[in-house]
Amino acid sequence: MTIVDYLSIYAIAAIWGLMFINIFLSIGGIIYYLKINKTDGRFPIDDYPMVSIMVPAHNESIVIRKTVAALLAFDYPRERYEIIVVNDNSTDNSSIVLQEIQKKNPDRKLIVINTDSILGGKGKSNALNIALSVASGTVIAIYDADNTPAADALGLLVENLMADEKIGAVIGKFRTRNRNASILTRFVNIETLAYQCMNQAGRYYFFKLCTIPGTNYVIRRSIIDEMGGWDTKALSEDTEISFRLYRMGYYIKFMPLAVTWEQEPQLLKQWFKQRTRWARGNVYVLIKNFKYAFDKNAGSMRLDVLYYALVYILMLTSLICSDAIFVLGILGLCHVTLKGFSTLLWGMAILLFLLNVLITLAVEKNEFNLQNAFLIIVMLFTYSKLWVAVVINSIILGIRDTYNHQDVVWDKTERFEETIS
């Protein structure tokens, strides 16, 4: 056999291995969803804690009005929560919009902090630390500026947090609000449901592990204080704080009945920029915590470090190999002697991929249909391939910024006026 054959075997074995992991997690996720859907997810408490809802916002005038309106409409006791919006070094009319909202709601505790380029403009983590400095709640809730959570979301999250003192944070589910805006947002909708939400559910069901997303979650104020706030060097502050929380002996609960709707990128340029930021942040967290994969005292956190390593090392290298072999084969520059056997394995992998994603979509109302089945196939040969470019780009930018000692700055996703819901 040639070196190309060995690379082909490696790629097939790695992708099949990752496929089985996803199927395993999907099974756990479906079981967990079915279990949760039989309940209302509520744990009523006599004395609801004071909650500080923190919203970091940079040039968010297009979406912030709808977001604050949704936060004000929570069915959580009004006197037991405050909303802190950090209008962080914005150059649009966000401050005017927020001032108007304050005037229309004089009886509500809505705090707006306007920062300049000296104090602010240094990324989401810095904005959250600013909000924390004035927060009065014993529970912290985080929402991105493009979110419209359901009225019961905050109550569900807080009640589940208070139900067990070993729970450090509770995360909800996020859905794509503008999923019908473009083919890209349809892809994002499927990805969110089939992988981000279902994998979270599966990891929680089997291992009591899940990662805090950037929005729609609550965390104990005492934990944040003990941590010293958010890591301002982390682009994925949510993933980074999840690992620190594990090391403190807490676990994170997934409550999919607590739903928020968020706006996703409608154009490829904005999507690529957003996902590059996510990948850079996750690679930073992986490097920072990789040593714990070999620490016997790290507990189940070791599994999460391994999970991220599989995604950003095994998956990346296997996809690079398979795509390179395919392109070079088309150009006649290489030849795989295992062609017939490898073709069969690739065909079966595609079929399993389709079935796995379709089955996970079946737990969501109106998502299991022929249209999505077609989109899944298209995604496999288009959208999924872009992930490799995203990770490679993130690594290059990370090396560049490290070499140039570049500080973290706001790199927000561009928002759109929504004409399609």
Do 18 and 48 have their domain in common?
no
In angstroms, the Cα distances linking 148 to 131, 153, 197, 225 are: 20, 10, 17, 28
Structure tokens at 62: 């297009």
Give the other-Cβ count within 10 Å of 413's Cβ: 18
What is the residue range of 245's domain? 42-280
Sequence-separated (6 or more) residues with CB below 8 Å from residue 294: 302
CB atoms under 10 Å from CB of 34, counted, come to 10
Coil, helix or strand at residue 44:
coil
Q: Give pLDDT, residue 12.
A: 85
Sign for the CA dihedral angle at 215, 221, 226, 229 comes to positive
Q: What is the pLDDT of residue 342?
A: 65
- Chain centre distance of CA 242: 12
- Do 145 and 275 share a structural domain? yes
Residue 395 inside a domain? The answer is yes
Single residue among 253, 280, 307 that ends a domain in this structure: 280
Q: Please say which residue of 245, 280, 315 terminates a domain.
A: 280
Pairing relation of β-strands 51-57 and 81-88?
parallel
User: Over the Cα atoms of the chain, what is R_g?
Assistant: 22
Q: Which helix (H) or strand (E) holds 57?
A: strand 51-57
**What b/e sequence results for 344-358 when a residue is b if at least 16 CB atoms lie within 10 Å of its CB, and e otherwise?**
ebbeebeeebeebbb
**254 and 360 both lie in a single domain:** no
Is residue 394 in a domain?
yes
pLDDT at 349 over 50: yes
Q: Which residue has the tokens 């729970």?
A: 167
pLDDT digits (tens, 9 = 90+) for 154-174: 999 999 999 999 999 999 999
The answer to whether residue 139 scores a pLDDT higher than 80 is yes
The tally of domains found in the chain comes to 2
Name the pTM for this structure. Answer: 0.90
Cβ neighbourhood burial of 326 (10 Å; 0-12, 13-18, 19+): middle
Per-residue confidence (pLDDT) for residue 112, from 0 to 100: 97
pLDDT tens digits for 385-420?
Answer: 899 999 999 999 888 888 887 766 656 777 888 754
| CA angle centred on 240, ends 238 and 241, rounded to 5° | 70
pLDDT at position 26 is: 92
Whether the predicted pLDDT of 421 surpasses 60? no
- Are residues 257 and 204 part of one domain? yes
Contact 177, 263 (CB under 8 A): yes
140 and 154 Cβ atoms separated by less than 8 Å:
no
Pairing assessment for the beta strands 251-262 and 167-176 based on DSSP bridges: parallel
